[in-house]
A and B are shown apart, each in its own frame.
Chain A
Amino acid sequence: MINRGEVLAKIEKEYMTKDENFKVGNTVKVYVKIIEGKKERIQVFEGIVIDIHGSGLNRMFKVRKMVGQIGVERTFPLHSPSIQKIEVVKTGKVRRAKLFYLRGRIGKASQLKNVLESQN
Protein backbone atom coordinates (compact mmCIF):
# COMPACT_ATOMS: atom_id res chain seq x y z
CA MET A 1 0.00 0.00 0.00
CA ILE A 2 1.17 3.54 -0.61
CA ASN A 3 1.03 6.51 1.72
CA ARG A 4 -2.08 8.42 0.69
CA GLY A 5 -1.35 11.75 2.34
CA GLU A 6 2.22 11.83 1.12
CA VAL A 7 1.20 11.27 -2.50
CA LEU A 8 -1.48 13.96 -2.38
CA ALA A 9 0.88 16.46 -0.75
CA LYS A 10 3.48 15.79 -3.43
CA ILE A 11 1.00 16.49 -6.23
CA GLU A 12 -0.10 19.71 -4.53
CA LYS A 13 3.51 20.82 -4.22
CA GLU A 14 4.02 20.65 -7.99
CA TYR A 15 1.44 23.40 -8.39
CA MET A 16 2.69 25.61 -5.54
CA THR A 17 4.62 28.18 -7.52
CA LYS A 18 4.76 31.27 -5.35
CA ASP A 19 6.50 32.35 -2.17
CA GLU A 20 4.50 34.19 0.40
CA ASN A 21 6.42 37.47 0.45
CA PHE A 22 3.87 39.57 2.34
CA LYS A 23 2.09 39.74 5.69
CA VAL A 24 -1.23 40.88 7.04
CA GLY A 25 -1.21 44.68 7.16
CA ASN A 26 0.99 45.05 4.11
CA THR A 27 -0.19 47.21 1.26
CA VAL A 28 0.34 45.11 -1.82
CA LYS A 29 0.00 45.33 -5.57
CA VAL A 30 -1.46 42.15 -7.05
CA TYR A 31 -0.85 41.70 -10.77
CA VAL A 32 -3.74 39.65 -12.14
CA LYS A 33 -3.87 38.26 -15.65
CA ILE A 34 -7.26 38.86 -17.24
CA ILE A 35 -8.45 37.16 -20.40
CA GLU A 36 -10.94 39.18 -22.47
CA GLY A 37 -12.02 37.12 -25.43
CA LYS A 38 -8.68 36.25 -26.93
CA LYS A 39 -6.74 39.17 -25.53
CA GLU A 40 -4.76 39.05 -22.35
CA ARG A 41 -3.93 41.94 -20.10
CA ILE A 42 -2.64 42.57 -16.62
CA GLN A 43 -4.74 44.33 -14.04
CA VAL A 44 -3.26 45.66 -10.81
CA PHE A 45 -5.27 45.44 -7.60
CA GLU A 46 -3.71 47.52 -4.84
CA GLY A 47 -4.85 47.39 -1.23
CA ILE A 48 -4.24 46.24 2.31
CA VAL A 49 -3.93 42.51 3.07
CA ILE A 50 -6.55 41.93 5.76
CA ASP A 51 -6.56 38.15 5.96
CA ILE A 52 -4.37 35.16 5.04
CA HIS A 53 -5.77 31.70 5.58
CA GLY A 54 -5.65 28.11 4.34
CA SER A 55 -2.68 25.85 3.85
CA GLY A 56 -0.85 24.23 1.00
CA LEU A 57 -2.30 24.90 -2.41
CA ASN A 58 -5.48 26.29 -0.82
CA ARG A 59 -3.76 29.30 0.77
CA MET A 60 -5.84 32.43 0.18
CA PHE A 61 -5.44 36.10 0.98
CA LYS A 62 -7.89 38.95 1.11
CA VAL A 63 -7.05 42.44 -0.14
CA ARG A 64 -9.15 45.48 0.74
CA LYS A 65 -9.12 48.85 -0.97
CA MET A 66 -11.31 51.92 -0.97
CA VAL A 67 -12.81 53.03 -4.25
CA GLY A 68 -14.18 56.45 -3.45
CA GLN A 69 -16.51 55.84 -0.52
CA ILE A 70 -16.97 52.15 -1.19
CA GLY A 71 -14.76 49.40 0.19
CA VAL A 72 -13.78 46.66 -2.27
CA GLU A 73 -12.41 43.32 -1.12
CA ARG A 74 -11.01 40.56 -3.26
CA THR A 75 -9.90 37.10 -2.21
CA PHE A 76 -7.05 35.61 -4.21
CA PRO A 77 -5.71 32.04 -4.18
CA LEU A 78 -1.99 32.56 -3.53
CA HIS A 79 -0.94 29.90 -6.02
CA SER A 80 -3.39 30.82 -8.76
CA PRO A 81 -1.68 30.82 -12.16
CA SER A 82 -3.48 34.03 -13.08
CA ILE A 83 -1.56 35.96 -10.42
CA GLN A 84 1.61 37.13 -12.10
CA LYS A 85 3.30 38.68 -9.09
CA ILE A 86 2.66 40.27 -5.73
CA GLU A 87 4.55 43.43 -4.76
CA VAL A 88 4.76 44.87 -1.27
CA VAL A 89 4.32 48.64 -1.29
CA LYS A 90 4.03 49.47 2.41
CA THR A 91 4.24 47.64 5.71
CA GLY A 92 1.54 48.61 8.17
CA LYS A 93 1.82 48.33 11.93
CA VAL A 94 -0.72 45.71 13.02
CA ARG A 95 -1.37 43.71 16.18
CA ARG A 96 -3.71 41.01 14.89
CA ALA A 97 -3.95 38.37 12.19
CA LYS A 98 -7.25 39.48 10.68
CA LEU A 99 -7.94 43.14 10.06
CA PHE A 100 -11.69 42.91 9.63
CA TYR A 101 -12.08 45.90 11.98
CA LEU A 102 -11.02 48.11 9.08
CA ARG A 103 -14.40 47.46 7.50
CA GLY A 104 -16.12 49.64 10.04
CA ARG A 105 -13.75 52.54 9.58
CA ILE A 106 -13.72 55.39 7.14
CA GLY A 107 -11.29 58.12 6.28
CA LYS A 108 -8.15 58.52 8.32
CA ALA A 109 -9.19 55.91 10.89
CA SER A 110 -8.94 53.18 8.26
CA GLN A 111 -5.29 53.88 7.61
CA LEU A 112 -2.48 51.85 9.17
CA LYS A 113 0.67 53.34 10.62
CA ASN A 114 3.69 52.65 8.50
CA VAL A 115 6.45 50.45 9.88
CA LEU A 116 10.01 51.24 8.89
CA GLU A 117 11.87 48.35 7.33
CA SER A 118 14.58 48.41 10.03
CA GLN A 119 12.02 47.74 12.75
CA ASN A 120 10.78 44.53 11.10
Chain B
Amino acid sequence: MSLGFIGQKLGMLRLPNENGEFEAVTVIYLPPMQVLEIKTEEKDGYSAIKVGAFETLKRVNKPTKGYFEALSKLANKTITPKKYLKEFRLKEGESVNFNVGDVLNVDLFKNGEIVDITGITKGKGFQGVVKRHGFSGGPASHGSQFHRRPGSIGAHTFPARVWKEHRMPGHMGFEKVTVKNIKIVKVDTDKSLILVKGAVPGPNRGVLYIKKK
Protein backbone atom coordinates (compact mmCIF):
# COMPACT_ATOMS: atom_id res chain seq x y z
CA MET B 1 0.00 0.00 0.00
CA SER B 2 2.75 2.43 -0.81
CA LEU B 3 4.60 3.97 -3.68
CA GLY B 4 6.92 1.75 -5.63
CA PHE B 5 9.61 2.17 -8.22
CA ILE B 6 10.53 0.26 -11.35
CA GLY B 7 14.25 -0.51 -11.52
CA GLN B 8 16.88 -2.66 -13.12
CA LYS B 9 19.46 -4.75 -11.30
CA LEU B 10 22.92 -3.84 -12.57
CA GLY B 11 25.05 -6.16 -10.44
CA MET B 12 26.72 -6.62 -7.11
CA LEU B 13 29.84 -5.15 -5.53
CA ARG B 14 31.55 -5.31 -2.18
CA LEU B 15 32.08 -1.87 -0.73
CA PRO B 16 33.52 -0.67 2.57
CA ASN B 17 30.97 0.69 5.05
CA GLU B 18 31.51 3.37 7.69
CA ASN B 19 33.05 0.80 10.10
CA GLY B 20 35.70 -0.06 7.54
CA GLU B 21 34.23 -3.50 6.86
CA PHE B 22 33.38 -4.69 3.39
CA GLU B 23 29.75 -5.52 2.76
CA ALA B 24 27.90 -6.83 -0.27
CA VAL B 25 25.70 -4.32 -2.07
CA THR B 26 23.46 -4.55 -5.11
CA VAL B 27 23.44 -1.67 -7.57
CA ILE B 28 19.96 -0.84 -8.91
CA TYR B 29 19.27 1.61 -11.72
CA LEU B 30 16.09 3.64 -11.23
CA PRO B 31 15.38 5.78 -14.29
CA PRO B 32 12.90 8.66 -13.98
CA MET B 33 9.39 7.31 -13.84
CA GLN B 34 6.29 8.99 -15.26
CA VAL B 35 2.80 8.88 -13.78
CA LEU B 36 0.38 7.53 -16.39
CA GLU B 37 -2.94 7.02 -14.63
CA ILE B 38 -4.47 7.94 -11.33
CA LYS B 39 -7.09 5.79 -9.66
CA THR B 40 -9.28 7.33 -6.99
CA GLU B 41 -11.88 6.00 -4.56
CA GLU B 42 -14.70 7.95 -6.24
CA LYS B 43 -14.01 6.71 -9.74
CA ASP B 44 -12.37 3.31 -9.32
CA GLY B 45 -13.14 2.32 -5.74
CA TYR B 46 -9.48 2.31 -4.66
CA SER B 47 -6.47 4.57 -4.60
CA ALA B 48 -3.50 3.82 -6.83
CA ILE B 49 -1.18 5.25 -9.45
CA LYS B 50 -0.01 3.61 -12.63
CA VAL B 51 3.53 4.45 -13.61
CA GLY B 52 5.84 3.70 -16.51
CA ALA B 53 9.63 3.60 -16.74
CA PHE B 54 12.37 2.86 -19.29
CA GLU B 55 12.00 4.47 -22.73
CA THR B 56 11.01 2.07 -25.47
CA LEU B 57 13.78 2.02 -28.03
CA LYS B 58 12.08 -0.29 -30.47
CA ARG B 59 9.13 0.41 -32.76
CA VAL B 60 5.87 0.92 -30.90
CA ASN B 61 2.69 -0.70 -32.19
CA LYS B 62 -0.38 1.40 -32.95
CA PRO B 63 -2.50 0.59 -29.86
CA THR B 64 0.41 1.40 -27.53
CA LYS B 65 1.21 4.57 -29.44
CA GLY B 66 -2.45 5.58 -29.28
CA TYR B 67 -2.53 5.01 -25.51
CA PHE B 68 0.48 7.22 -24.86
CA GLU B 69 -0.76 9.90 -27.29
CA ALA B 70 -4.08 10.02 -25.46
CA LEU B 71 -2.22 10.39 -22.16
CA SER B 72 -0.06 13.17 -23.58
CA LYS B 73 -3.17 15.03 -24.66
CA LEU B 74 -4.75 14.56 -21.23
CA ALA B 75 -1.67 15.78 -19.37
CA ASN B 76 -0.77 18.47 -21.89
CA LYS B 77 2.81 17.14 -21.87
CA THR B 78 4.63 14.69 -24.08
CA ILE B 79 4.60 11.27 -22.50
CA THR B 80 6.90 8.96 -24.47
CA PRO B 81 6.02 5.25 -24.66
CA LYS B 82 7.42 3.26 -21.74
CA LYS B 83 8.65 -0.29 -21.67
CA TYR B 84 7.52 -1.33 -18.19
CA LEU B 85 4.19 -0.28 -16.66
CA LYS B 86 3.08 -1.01 -13.12
CA GLU B 87 0.26 -0.01 -10.83
CA PHE B 88 1.01 0.68 -7.16
CA ARG B 89 -1.78 0.72 -4.57
CA LEU B 90 -1.65 3.74 -2.28
CA LYS B 91 -3.27 4.59 1.02
CA GLU B 92 -6.76 6.10 0.79
CA GLY B 93 -6.80 9.57 -0.72
CA GLU B 94 -3.06 9.62 -1.48
CA SER B 95 -3.31 9.20 -5.24
CA VAL B 96 -4.82 12.72 -5.57
CA ASN B 97 -1.39 14.19 -4.78
CA PHE B 98 -0.07 13.03 -8.16
CA ASN B 99 -0.82 14.36 -11.64
CA VAL B 100 -0.66 12.52 -14.95
CA GLY B 101 2.72 13.18 -16.54
CA ASP B 102 4.55 13.85 -13.24
CA VAL B 103 8.14 12.65 -13.23
CA LEU B 104 9.32 10.74 -10.17
CA ASN B 105 13.04 10.48 -9.48
CA VAL B 106 15.38 8.54 -7.20
CA ASP B 107 15.52 11.48 -4.79
CA LEU B 108 12.31 10.16 -3.23
CA PHE B 109 14.57 7.64 -1.50
CA LYS B 110 16.85 8.45 1.44
CA ASN B 111 20.05 6.85 2.68
CA GLY B 112 19.27 4.23 5.30
CA GLU B 113 15.66 3.76 4.21
CA ILE B 114 14.10 0.27 4.44
CA VAL B 115 12.34 -1.08 1.32
CA ASP B 116 10.81 -4.27 -0.07
CA ILE B 117 12.18 -5.51 -3.40
CA THR B 118 10.35 -7.79 -5.82
CA GLY B 119 11.93 -9.59 -8.75
CA ILE B 120 11.77 -12.73 -10.86
CA THR B 121 14.36 -15.27 -9.67
CA LYS B 122 16.79 -16.97 -12.04
CA GLY B 123 15.28 -20.06 -13.68
CA LYS B 124 16.92 -23.30 -12.55
CA GLY B 125 15.00 -25.72 -14.82
CA PHE B 126 13.74 -29.12 -13.65
CA GLN B 127 15.45 -29.83 -10.34
CA GLY B 128 15.51 -32.73 -7.93
CA VAL B 129 14.29 -32.72 -4.41
CA VAL B 130 17.68 -32.07 -2.80
CA LYS B 131 18.24 -28.73 -4.56
CA ARG B 132 14.58 -27.74 -4.78
CA HIS B 133 13.39 -28.47 -1.26
CA GLY B 134 16.60 -28.99 0.68
CA PHE B 135 16.13 -32.74 1.32
CA SER B 136 19.26 -34.29 2.75
CA GLY B 137 19.50 -37.25 0.32
CA GLY B 138 21.31 -40.46 1.19
CA PRO B 139 24.91 -41.44 1.92
CA ALA B 140 27.35 -40.92 -0.93
CA SER B 141 29.26 -44.16 -0.28
CA HIS B 142 29.18 -47.51 1.57
CA GLY B 143 26.97 -49.01 -1.17
CA SER B 144 23.75 -47.38 -0.09
CA GLN B 145 22.51 -47.10 -3.70
CA PHE B 146 20.35 -44.22 -2.48
CA HIS B 147 21.83 -40.83 -3.25
CA ARG B 148 19.64 -37.88 -4.18
CA ARG B 149 16.24 -39.58 -4.31
CA PRO B 150 13.13 -38.29 -2.51
CA GLY B 151 12.39 -41.55 -0.62
CA SER B 152 8.92 -42.54 0.43
CA ILE B 153 6.10 -40.22 -0.62
CA GLY B 154 3.41 -41.56 1.66
CA ALA B 155 1.87 -44.38 3.71
CA HIS B 156 -0.04 -47.49 2.57
CA THR B 157 -3.79 -48.30 2.58
CA PHE B 158 -4.48 -45.11 4.36
CA PRO B 159 -4.55 -42.62 2.66
CA ALA B 160 -3.96 -44.78 -0.45
CA ARG B 161 -2.90 -41.67 -2.33
CA VAL B 162 -0.22 -39.00 -2.19
CA TRP B 163 -1.11 -35.95 -0.12
CA LYS B 164 -1.66 -32.73 -2.05
CA GLU B 165 1.31 -30.39 -2.40
CA HIS B 166 3.76 -33.12 -1.42
CA ARG B 167 7.28 -31.86 -2.15
CA MET B 168 8.64 -33.50 -5.29
CA PRO B 169 11.06 -32.76 -8.14
CA GLY B 170 9.93 -30.15 -10.62
CA HIS B 171 10.54 -26.74 -12.10
CA MET B 172 12.52 -24.42 -9.90
CA GLY B 173 13.14 -20.70 -10.12
CA PHE B 174 11.70 -18.10 -12.47
CA GLU B 175 9.10 -17.12 -9.92
CA LYS B 176 8.14 -13.82 -8.38
CA VAL B 177 9.88 -13.32 -5.04
CA THR B 178 9.72 -10.38 -2.65
CA VAL B 179 12.55 -9.77 -0.23
CA LYS B 180 11.41 -7.62 2.65
CA ASN B 181 13.26 -5.04 4.72
CA ILE B 182 16.26 -4.29 2.55
CA LYS B 183 18.32 -1.32 3.64
CA ILE B 184 19.33 1.36 1.17
CA VAL B 185 23.03 2.04 1.66
CA LYS B 186 23.35 4.95 -0.72
CA VAL B 187 21.23 7.00 -3.11
CA ASP B 188 23.05 8.43 -6.12
CA THR B 189 20.85 11.11 -7.64
CA ASP B 190 23.31 12.07 -10.40
CA LYS B 191 23.48 8.61 -11.89
CA SER B 192 19.93 7.66 -10.90
CA LEU B 193 21.10 4.68 -8.83
CA ILE B 194 20.48 3.16 -5.44
CA LEU B 195 22.81 0.77 -3.63
CA VAL B 196 21.10 -1.70 -1.32
CA LYS B 197 22.58 -4.05 1.25
CA GLY B 198 22.72 -7.72 0.29
CA ALA B 199 21.26 -9.60 -2.64
CA VAL B 200 17.99 -9.15 -4.55
CA PRO B 201 16.12 -11.72 -6.67
CA GLY B 202 16.84 -12.16 -10.36
CA PRO B 203 19.69 -11.94 -12.84
CA ASN B 204 21.69 -8.85 -13.71
CA ARG B 205 19.63 -6.59 -15.98
CA GLY B 206 16.46 -8.10 -14.47
CA VAL B 207 13.50 -5.85 -13.70
CA LEU B 208 12.80 -5.08 -10.04
CA TYR B 209 10.00 -3.36 -8.17
CA ILE B 210 11.19 -1.39 -5.16
CA LYS B 211 8.42 -0.56 -2.69
CA LYS B 212 8.64 2.11 -0.02
CA LYS B 213 7.41 1.21 3.44
Q: Please give the residue numbers on chain A whose beta carbons come within 8 Å of chain B beta carbons, in ascending order.
A: 1-2, 4, 7-8, 10-12, 15, 33, 35, 57-58, 77, 79-82
Contacts and interface: CB of A to CB of B under 8 A. Distances in A.
Contact of A11 (B19, B27, B205): B27
Nearest to B17: A81
Contact of A7 (B16, B19, B57, B191): B191
A2 B29 contact: yes
B13 A8 contact: yes
Interface of B: 10-11, 13-16, 19-20, 22, 27, 29, 57, 188, 191, 193, 195, 204-205
A79 B13 CA distance: 14
If over half of B's interface residues share one DSSP class (helix, strand or loop), that class is named, otherwise mixed; here it is strand
Contact of A82 (B11, B14, B15, B20): B20
A80 B29 CA distance: 26
B27 A12 contact: no
A80 B16 CA distance: 7
> In this complex, which of A4, A77, A79 has the most chain B Cβ atoms within 10 angstroms of its Cβ?
A4
Contact of A4 (B11, B19, B22, B57): B11
Given A7-B27, A7-B29, A81 B20 contact: yes
A4 B10 contact: yes
Given A1-B57, A15-B15, 8 more contacts: A4-B11, A7-B27, A10-B191, A11-B15, A11-B27, A57-B14, A80-B22, A82-B20
6 contacts: A2-B29, A4-B10, A4-B204, A12-B13, A15-B16, A57-B15
A41 B82 CA distance: 54
A11 B192 CA distance: 12
Contacts of A58: 14
A110 B178 CA distance: 55
A81 B11 contact: no
Contacts of B14: 57-58
Nearest to A12: B13
A57 B204 contact: no
A33 B20 contact: yes
A7 B10 contact: yes
Given A4-B10, A57-B15, A11 B195 contact: yes
B205 A4 contact: yes
A42 to B, nearest CB: 13
